[in-house]
A and B are shown apart, each in its own frame.
Chain A
Amino acid sequence: MHGSATLVDVLIGLCLLLVATTATAAVFTRDPARQAVVLGMLGLGLALLFTVLQAPDVALSQLGVGTAVTPLLILLTVRRVRRGGDRATPPGPDAGTDDAGAPR
């Protein structure tokens, strides 16, 4: 058993490390627009891991959701929020940090 399963073990280990690294990177990317891209890579890594773990169904839905839908939603939200904050503050990762901004 140990001899035949090593290749699969190595593949699973590599995918696990890839997922752990991209997850950490996604958390420490503080700018949400950049984070969306890293989350897309995390989705891709998870899809790879699920494929290696013999779960093609989950990999397929993770591929669609993790690399397309979630990053797209985050990017759209970032754009909406930055546009709304244009009046009061310059756009940036912390757009809308004005204390004087009274509720509309």
Chain B
Amino acid sequence: MHVLPYLVSGWILLVGMYGLATSRNLIHAVGCLAVAQSSTYVLLLSIGFRRGGTAPVFSDVPTGSVVVDPVVQALALTDVVVGATVTALLLSLVIQLHKRHSTIDPDQLNGLRG
């Protein structure tokens, strides 16, 4: 149990990168990038977890109670939303690429056709 969260996070990163390296479709590659990105959230939140702690929100628990680490959660929170907009930017690049080269297979794209 002590190593499982770190193992899972590393596995998600590597499997996402494997998909990225072997992808034959750029849309699929963007999806794999999103998978690899989610490994950082798992890692951050696992580091911040504290056995017996509650969520770091003091609206309905007394201010002295034990909470999990809020700093890593704040880090992950902004990245979830900003990561989605970056995914949108990458997908719009794919659309533009398809308009110009009518293919989204990375193997079919080569610099000479620019």
**B-side contacts of A19, CB under 8 Å:** 8, 12, 38, 42
**1/0 contact string of B35-54 vs chain A (CB within 8 Å):** 10011011001101101111
Interface residues of A (CB under 8 A from B): 1, 4-5, 8-9, 12-13, 16-17, 19-20, 23-24, 26-28, 30-32, 35-36, 39, 42, 46, 49-50, 53-58, 61-62, 65-66, 69-70, 73-74, 77-78, 80-81, 84-85, 88, 93-99, 101, 103-104
**Which residue of chain A has its CB nearest to the CB of B50?**
A54
User: Do B27 and A81 have beta carbons less than 8 Å apart?
Assistant: yes
CA gap between A59 and B49 in the complex, in Å: 14
Chain B min CB distance to A36 (Å) = 7
Name B residues whose Cβ lies closer than 8 Å to a Cβ of A.
1, 4-5, 8, 11-12, 15-16, 18-19, 23-25, 27-28, 30-32, 34-35, 38-39, 41-42, 45-46, 48-49, 51-57, 67-68, 73, 76-77, 80-81, 83-84, 87-88, 91, 94-95, 98-105, 108, 113
